[in-house]
Chains A and B, each alone.
Chain A
Amino acid sequence: MLADPKRCRRLERRVALAASLLIALPILAQYDPKLQYQNRGDRREGLKPKPVSGNDVELLSALVDCREDAGSGWPPALHLRFFLPAAGPVAITVRQPRPKSLYYWLDEVVPKAPWRPRTFNEYTWPTETVLRKLSGVTLADLGAVVRLSSSKGPSKQERVAPAVLFQTQQPTAASGYRFTFKTNGAAYVTAKIYRGDREVFKRPQNREPAGSPFTVIWPAQGQPDGEYRLVLSGYFDNNDRLAQEVVFFHRASWR
């Protein structure tokens, strides 16, 4: 029956129509395109695919250890506060240190006024744009790095300003710090913090699986204000040496 020219033409028309419709169908995205990482005026913010590390070891977050009880919902705005010890470039990154398939990322912040040295600086951004629309992401899932350099990417030697992420309760003191890292290969890692050449803290050597974030918490009570060095040392499974240094300024009072 298909040899009937009229039927053949009808079949061809149907096949063509079906093919055109299928090609025209958009690919369904997991999230709204509005949530994807893009320019938001004074910052770049949104969701990215899960990253792969190109470095041996990467600093994912450097926070003051004073998380407020965030509750379940997001407030209208989120605040990031840090002490800038000296004039110089500042590169802010807010991200999920333990990302899923897509993960939150904010960087390339342009402050309304230049960052002020030797005092506290704050950046505030609305949660309505992206954060409130993400399911399963809370304030406790976010990390931040304030790099005191023009480079937003990681390096072997970092100079950072530990930051606080908060909703409403501004911190009054920095009683400790949380530094989160990730290695790109299984490695034995020791973490030490120095003031000058004096060791003030040591995290025992531990085996860290590749790609799994690990956190160094330093309880800083009683430590004088000043510059400190967090030094990671160790070796990967293939016996390659691992080394990372993070210099930061500890200021106990945040009033």
Chain B
Amino acid sequence: MRAGTPRTAATMARRGRRPWLWLILPTLILLPLVGLSTFWHLPTRVQLDLATTRLALTLGGAQRREILDRSVPFSSLVIEDCGTVAFAAETLKVADPQELVPGTETQPPTFPAAAWRELPHTGPVKLSCRDPEAKLTLRNPDPEAAEAGTLDQIYLEPDSQVILEVSPGREPAVSLEIETPQNLHLALDADLELVADFVAPENVAVPFQVTPLTWRARVPEAHRFLDLTSGENGLVLIVTPARGKAAEMFPEKPDLPLASLELLEESLRGDLTSPLLGEAKLSYPDYPDIPPVTIKADEDLGLGGLSQARLTHLSFDTEKSALRVGFDGIAEHPTSKAGEFVRDHRLTLFHAIRYSWRWALIAAAAAWLVTTTWAAYEAWKKLQE
């Protein structure tokens, strides 16, 4: 080609622009991709550390699991939705409700010795909870006693729900609403006090028609057990742990597979409220460089679309009347809501690239490859000239 012709001049001008084009081309491609990557949300593995007054969970996996520790000692146990109750008794008494000395702010209600009537019976005492309002309370007749008995193993079926709720009071308790029907074999102390509300004795004639009635039983040493069957839709247990034994209520590392986890309640006005106590911490274990998110106590926390989710920690803090919960799993929709403001805690593709060592390695390798290829190409061109 000859120099100085218009065609040659145009070719030269195009060649002159080409390095600029090559220089800005990566920016032109990468900038929109980076922008787009900040909107591409990914299912996100999160860890939660929180304190709550209520927790509803659905068991995942395919095997039945326990939520409580193997043998939880209790000072008081309230049973709702019971089916039948049976226990052996050496002696059985019922108190005349008319003789109750009402409690005051400083003194609990008591029955004088004369209030107790001996109840003749043969064989185990059987109680039936046919009435939908039936409720049974087990406790030690000695208010100073630390313990009244020990819970049996409580199994949950997969896909069944359990609701744990703190029942506040001088001695805080935990209420467990369990969907899985239960047959429990509770170990008892020698002396047992029962408060039976709408619970009908099957083989004992009771001289009083008022409810609730307070019973006392001396349990034989050879058979210190109470057999309890729940209704067909499970039961509610309100467990007051034995004094100083609240730490033994839940296993140290429950590692419970979860299908769902709900941290919401509804106020009387119909508003959804948060049961969180204090601030919760949400972190991203796959990206330790991303700072954890703080969720305030009044924020509603939602974890939709769980997979590979586990309850990693559960304990009962009696000082704060709270359940301390640890959670680890992938959530498609980890969100929190403060008033009308919703925060989406999913990570984006940008986070995945920015904070992942794999992607950092790929980016470094790509940068190295581009620069060395470019340098090699330039060197080859020089050699050709």
Contacts and interface: CB of A to CB of B under 8 A. Distances in A.
Interface of A: 2-3, 8, 12, 15-16, 19-20, 22-23, 25, 27-28, 48-55, 58, 98, 100-101, 136, 140-141, 153-154, 178, 180, 184-186, 188, 190, 203-207, 209-215, 217, 235-239
Contacts of B270: 48
B376 interface: no
B132 A204 contact: no
Contacts of A178: 133
Contacts of A16: 40, 349
B263 to A, nearest CB: 11
A8 B233 CA distance: 54
Contact of A205 (B78, B80, B103, B332): B103
B202 interface: no
Contacts of B198: 215, 217
Given A22-B43, A205-B100, A209-B78, A101 B56 contact: yes
Interface of B: 33, 40-43, 54, 56, 78, 80-81, 97-98, 100, 102-105, 108-109, 132-133, 135, 137, 161, 163, 165, 167-170, 173, 175, 177, 179, 195, 197-198, 210-212, 233, 236, 238, 262, 264-270, 272-273, 275, 304-305, 332-333, 349, 362, 365-366, 369
Contact of A98 (B80, B137, B165): B80
A211 B369 contact: no
A184 B167 CA distance: 8
Contacts of A140: 132
Nearest to B173: A209
A101 B234 CA distance: 13
Given A190-B102, A210-B173, A211-B165, 17 more contacts: A2-B362, A8-B366, A15-B40, A48-B270, A50-B266, A58-B268, A100-B163, A100-B179, A101-B161, A185-B168, A186-B173, A209-B175, A211-B175, A212-B80, A212-B238, A237-B168, A239-B105
Nearest to B177: A100
B163 A206 contact: no
Nearest to A186: B169
Contacts of B265: 49-52
Contacts of B104: 235
A54 B362 contact: no
A190 B273 CA distance: 31
B81 to A, nearest CB: 7
B262 A101 contact: yes
A212 B163 contact: no
B268 A27 contact: no
